[in-house]
């Protein structure tokens, strides 16, 4: 494998949580090289981890779509009701907590787009800057 291809594969493996030892045996590189690349390519590894997490969350959304759509519909209905802010905030907090269980991450905000009466898309903002779109 060429050096650039090795580095790209290193980033993929490290982002998936492989140890340096396992990466060294798979890519046939030395441990000092793996450590050096780990430091040098840390931002790329972090970016790849976020990309992989985003894909995992997208798959989880598909798996949990029905429950998710029900929760989003609750948001829509709650916003249409003329409830006091304190009650609306309490409902929003409860709905966000329920959604967070689906993602196993704390959701900071949800941005919904509507077409007539239906939710057409949702953007989720997580507490660690990972964004998932449906």
Q: Give per-residue pLDDT as tens, 113-133.
A: 777 666 677 777 776 654 444
What pLDDT does residue 101 have?
67
3/56: higher pLDDT: 3
Q: 104 pLDDT band (50/70/90 cuts)?
A: low
Mark whether 33 and 67 lie in a shared domain: no
Mark whether 66 and 100 lie in a shared domain: yes
* 36 falls within a domain: yes
Q: Which residues contact 45 (CB under 8 A, 6 or more apart)?
A: 11, 14, 15, 38
8/52: higher pLDDT: 8
Section 84-97 average pLDDT: 76
Residue 11's domain comprises 3-40
Domain count, the chain: 2
Whether the model pTM is above 0.85: no
Mark whether 86 and 120 lie in a shared domain: yes
Q: Are 10 and 18 in contact (CB under 8 A)?
A: no
Q: Which candidate, 16, 103, 95, places its Cα nearest to that of 58?
A: 103
* 53 falls within a domain: no
Phi (first) and psi of residue 81, to 5 degrees? -75, 145
What contacts 24+ positions apart, CB below 8 Å, involve 32-38? 34/10, 37/7, 37/10, 38/14
Q: In what order do the strands lie in the sheet with 131-133?
A: 107-115, 118-126, 131-133
What pLDDT does residue 113 have?
74
Section 6-15 average pLDDT: 91
């Amino acid at each position: 494998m060429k050096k650039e291809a090795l580095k790209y594969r290193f980033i993929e493996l490290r982002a998936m949580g492989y140890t340096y030892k396992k990466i060294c045996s798979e890519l046939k590189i030395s441990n000092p090289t793996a450590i050096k690349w780990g430091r040098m390519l840390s931002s790329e590894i972090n970016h790849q981890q976020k990309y992989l997490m985003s894909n995992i969350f997208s798959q989880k959304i598909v798996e949990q779509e029905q429950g998710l759509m029900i929760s989003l519909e609750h948001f829509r209905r709650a916003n249409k009701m003329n409830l006091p802010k304190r009650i609306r905030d309490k409902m929003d907090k409860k709905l966000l907590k329920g959604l967070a269980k689906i993602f196993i991450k704390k959701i900071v905000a949800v941005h919904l787009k509507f077409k007539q009466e239906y939710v057409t898309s949702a953007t989720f903002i997580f507490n660690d800057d990972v964004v998932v779109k449906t």
